[in-house]
């Protein structure tokens, strides 16, 4: 089996997507962009993001905490959103919370993965990205960016993998990571 090269967005590319603005008629583009960014910030699979409910978000004195049973693994995930990416996932939840009378039901619209990926193409073009962006790119982006910041076993738990080898698939060693690692070696 030959490993395939996985697409990952750089921090700059994520910021290009964050910076996009949309007209009122393009509300669906903004929602899909925000769903994608939420996955980039949390590492959630598309199905878990698309089916996220307000009931899965607990307010604590520190901030919002995600508490879900992942659809694919049937495992519980408790993730403090206030500790991730300068509270950006929290800000997305708060943005859509304002549009809901009762804090029940879905946070996002449950788009199909096919429609979501088609729309992501438009968003990637608007952000001037040369990469093929799909829902799964968000998860790779999260895992790759977090890999240099947390121990592998913690990343494995967040991504809900049963084997460390599966987590290692998500590790994309950039030239910068290699250079930084070598800089810290005292020969």
- Contact (Cβ atoms closer than 8 angstroms) between residue 52 and residue 45: no
Q: Does domain 11-183 have CATH number 1.10.443.10?
A: yes
Name residues whose C-beta falls within 8 Å of residue 68's C-beta, 6 or more positions apart in sequence. 48, 52, 56, 76, 77
Name the CA radius of gyration of the chain, rounded.
Answer: 17
Whether 177 shows a pLDDT value over 80: the answer reads no
3-state secondary structure 72-105: CCCCEEEEEHHHCHHHHHHHHHHHHHCCCCCCCC
Domain range annotation of the chain: 11-183
How high is the pLDDT of residue 58?
92
How high is the pLDDT of residue 55?
92
Q: Is 80 exposed, middle or buried (0-12, 13-18, 19+ CB in 10 A)?
A: middle
Q: Rounded distance, CA 58 to CA 93, Å?
A: 11
How high is the pLDDT of residue 77?
92
What does the pLDDT look like over 98-153, one tens digit per residue? 665 566 788 998 899 999 999 999 999 999 999 999 999 999 999 888 887 888 88
Nearest to 170 by CA among 180, 185, 182, 160: 160
Whether 19 shows a pLDDT value over 90: the answer reads yes
Q: Is 156 exposed, middle or buried (0-12, 13-18, 19+ CB in 10 A)?
A: buried
How high is the pLDDT of residue 180?
67
- Contact (Cβ atoms closer than 8 angstroms) between residue 147 and residue 159: no
């Amino acid at each position: 089996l030959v490993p395939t090269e996985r697409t990952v967005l750089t921090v700059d590319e994520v910021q290009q997507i964050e910076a996009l603005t949309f007209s009122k008629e393009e509300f669906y583009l903004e929602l899909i962009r925000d769903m994608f960014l939420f996955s980039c910030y949390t590492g959630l699979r598309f199905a878990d993001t698309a089916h996220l409910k307000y009931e899965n978000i607990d307010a604590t004195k520190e901030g919002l905490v995600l508490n879900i049973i992942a659809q694919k693994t049937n495992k519980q995930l408790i993730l403090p959103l206030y500790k991730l990416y300068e509270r950006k996932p929290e800000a997305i939840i708060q943005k859509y919370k304002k549009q809901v009378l009762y804090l029940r039901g879905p946070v996002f619209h449950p788009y199909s993965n096919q429609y979501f990926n088609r729309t992501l193409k438009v968003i990637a073009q608007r952000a001037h990205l040369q990469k093929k962006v799909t829902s799964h790119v968000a998860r790779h982006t999260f895992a790759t960016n977090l890999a240099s910041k947390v121990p592998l076993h913690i990343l494995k738990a967040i991504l809900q993998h049963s084997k460390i080898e599966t987590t290692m698939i998500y590790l994309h060693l950039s030239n910068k990571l290699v250079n930084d690692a070598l800089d810290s070696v005292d020969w």
